Amino acid sequence: MLSRLLLYGYCYQDSNDIPDTLTTITELGSPLEMIQLLQTSWEDRFRICLSLVRLLHYLAHSPLGSVTLLDFRPRQFVIVDGELKVTDLDDASIEESSCTSNSDCFMEFPARNFTLPCSVEGRCQNMNEKRNLYNAYRFFFTYLLPHSAPSSLRPLLDKIVNATGELHWGIDETAAQLERVLNLYKSGEYLQNTTRIPKAEYRRVPEAFIPDENYRCWPSYHHKGCLLSVFDVNEAIEICDSYSQCKAFVLTNQTTWTGRQLVFFKTASNHIMPDPDKITYVKVTD
């Protein structure tokens, strides 16, 4: 799915009062608020970075040629159904800078400068693509990718952040590596190299729910409780074992965009209520 706002329609008006006016109707998105994003789950932040990379991959290989976004600030993007989409293409350009030597292919950013090679055709190689990629690094990857990520994925995520920050990779390799992270996360393969020996025993209570006994954790899908996504029951047990206040957890029938199950973690199991769509696990021994 391409990360561009869908165009539902447009209206061209040319009159004495309003000459040469074009009005467009697009899908509605939420403004990008970086502070709020930093408080969301790693899974949702990863989705935003993945949708951005998929957009940049399309722009690098568009039918018009390689397209660069000259104004890459976060306000140029919105979030639609959890994915990042670009709203304004007024500052997009397909012009690749001409050059006679490498010194003509100078890219300047507030914290870093780069010099790209000048091709035999007299064009700066991949300048549009590299400009987009470094802007993605400095505005998005460095803030959203590594923090609170699963520990076994951190080495690969750090590698992605460092490689884009140094422009060692192009968009093709960056996109391939982020898709690799997605596959590891969705399949549960990222858990294979972790130690998963339960510290406590749990009693399974089918068709049951604990309505109260909440505690807060970060990041959580619920602002008044600890609601996290898990690959399987074993991961839920591992998470509950890691919180001293966790005495039970409830598997819901809700899933995230990756298909992972949402689980409520609880401080006690004093009041268990019947619920056909949920399964409760109660810690028996510590």
Among 14, 17, 44, 71, which one carries the catalytic annotation? 71
pLDDT tens per residue, range 47-104: 999 999 999 999 999 888 899 998 888 888 888 888 888 877 777 888 888 999 999 9
Q: What pLDDT score does 1 carry?
A: 41
The answer to whether the CB of 177 falls within 8 A of the CB of 184 is: no
Q: What pLDDT score does 194 carry?
A: 64
DSSP letters for 167-202? T-S-HHHHHHHHHHHHHHHHHTGGGTTS----SSEE
Decide if 71 is catalytic.
yes
This model's pTM is above 0.95 = no
pLDDT tens per residue, range 219-236: 888 888 999 999 999 999
Confidence of residue 180 (pLDDT cuts 50, 70, 90): very high
Mean pLDDT for 270-282 is 95
User: Is pLDDT at 8 greater than 70 in this prediction?
Assistant: no
The candidate with the shortest Cα–Cα distance to 82, out of 38, 59, 51, 57, is: 51
Q: What pLDDT score does 137 carry?
A: 96
Confidence of residue 14 (pLDDT cuts 50, 70, 90): low
pLDDT tens per residue, range 116-173: 999 999 999 999 999 999 999 999 999 999 998 998 999 999 999 999 999 999 999 9
Residue 264 has what DSSP assignment? E
